[in-house]
Structure 1
Amino acid sequence: MLFFTTYKSELFASFILLVVLLIIRLIAKTLIRKIGHKAGINDARIHLISRYATVTLVLIWMLVETIIFGAQFKDLALVFSSVFAVIGIALFAIWSILSNITSGIIMFFNFPYKVGDKIMIHDKDFPIEAIIEDIAAFQLHLRMDNGDLVTYPNNLILQKPVTLLKKDAMLFPQDDGTDAV
């Protein structure tokens, strides 16, 4: 009980912070869902971007909590510099993964092509003409005309010129009612 009386104001501030961040999370998830449905993005990608927003809010909450409970800036600077040094070394090794995740987030909010569209990627070494089958966190799944599945990294799709060949192209041809003999 001594803990609650000693840290009454800090606990109250923590409660207020938690409520505010939960409200912000609810608003963010609602906005992400509305933007996603308006743009015709599938629910799995909407859920993924919502998780990214939640993780960001949790990190902000942890930072503000340490300040509420009296951590000094110099202490935080020491911790963050040490953590960022370790993370920096680790991220250098996996920069491609982070680049693809960041590209996936950018593609969620601003990507003119959707699942089902037939596109052409103008790559001088390996030009691709395919239908977008899925847009995942790290790569696009593209179905070639011959049936092959090509995975194309998100960061590269933002760097290459892309032409929309057919909006909402069908993944599989429809049966026209005639039977081949």
Structure 2
Amino acid sequence: MLNLFQNKYLHEEISTLIVLIVYSLLRYFLAKGIRKYAKSNQSLEHRTNLVIKYVNILLGILAFITIAVIWGVKKDQLFLFTSSFFTVVGVAAFAQWSLLSNITAGIILFFSFPFKIGDHIKILDKDFPISGEIIDIKAFYILLKTDGNEVITYPNNLLMQKGISVLDNHSEHQEFTD
């Protein structure tokens, strides 16, 4: 009986093992590549770790779906489960769309790297122009310190929508942590 069980599911077990090995290798090499990219652009370590975390979540979801298909979950059932899950998440996150757009904008800002901590920038907004020194860059927002020592929190998604002028960089390279 045990031998029959081993022979019946041997293909699925081997395929699952291969998926887990590929998943582990992808996590390792993508993290290494992202760190190398971040180092070449003098990115902060906590921003790098945040991007790696998002990539790992995506890889985990893909590995889970792949393993479910290997073990016989039918594609229509998987599609139904996935669409139901994303519907629930979408409804729950509908009011929180700005959080998702800020996370996405934070990742884009990480890879495009138009400015860094210490840069003095001006946000070109017709109604509310803001200028100040970037004192920290987080996943959802940046912190600006104005000439009047006022600290302003500015969402990342708005940074992607507005024009930005980098006026000057008058600070030394610093590491900040959350």
Q: TM-score, normalised by structure 2?
A: 0.90
1:18 is aligned to 20
Summarize the alignment of residues 103-122 of structure 1 with structure 2, pairs less than 5 Å apart.
103-122=105-124
Query: 5+ unaligned residues in a row in structure 2: which ranges?
Result: 173-178
2:156 is aligned to 154
Contact 2:41 2:113 in 1 (8 A): no
Summarize the alignment of residues 170-181 of structure 1 with structure 2, pairs less than 5 Å apart.
170=171
Higher Cα radius of gyration: 1
1:57 is aligned to 59
Structure 2 residue matching 1:158: 3-state secondary structure: helix
Identity rate of aligned residues, in percent? 41
1:14-39 residue CA offsets vs partner (Å, 9 max, x unmatched):
11111111111111101110111111
Are 2:97 and 1:95 equivalent residues in the alignment? yes
Offset, 1:13? 0.8
1:34 is aligned to 36
User: What amino acid maps onto 2:48 in structure 1?
Assistant: I
**For this pair of structures, how many residues does the alignment match?**
170
Offset, 1:5? 4.6
Offset, 1:91? 2.1
Structure 2 residue matching 1:7: 3-state secondary structure: helix
CA separation in 1, counterparts of 2:168 and 2:129? 17
Q: TM-score, normalised by structure 1?
A: 0.89
> CA RMSD, aligned part only?
1.5
User: What amino acid maps onto 2:151 in structure 1?
Assistant: L
CA separation in 2, counterparts of 1:141 and 1:107? 14
1:7 is aligned to 9
CA separation in 1, counterparts of 2:71 and 2:29? 27
Moved more, 64-73 or 2-11: 2-11
1:178 is aligned to none
Contact 2:102 2:141 in 1 (8 A): yes
Residues 1:90 and 1:145: Cα distance change in structure 2 (over 3 Å):
same
1:138 is aligned to 140
CA separation in 1, counterparts of 2:61 and 2:83? 16
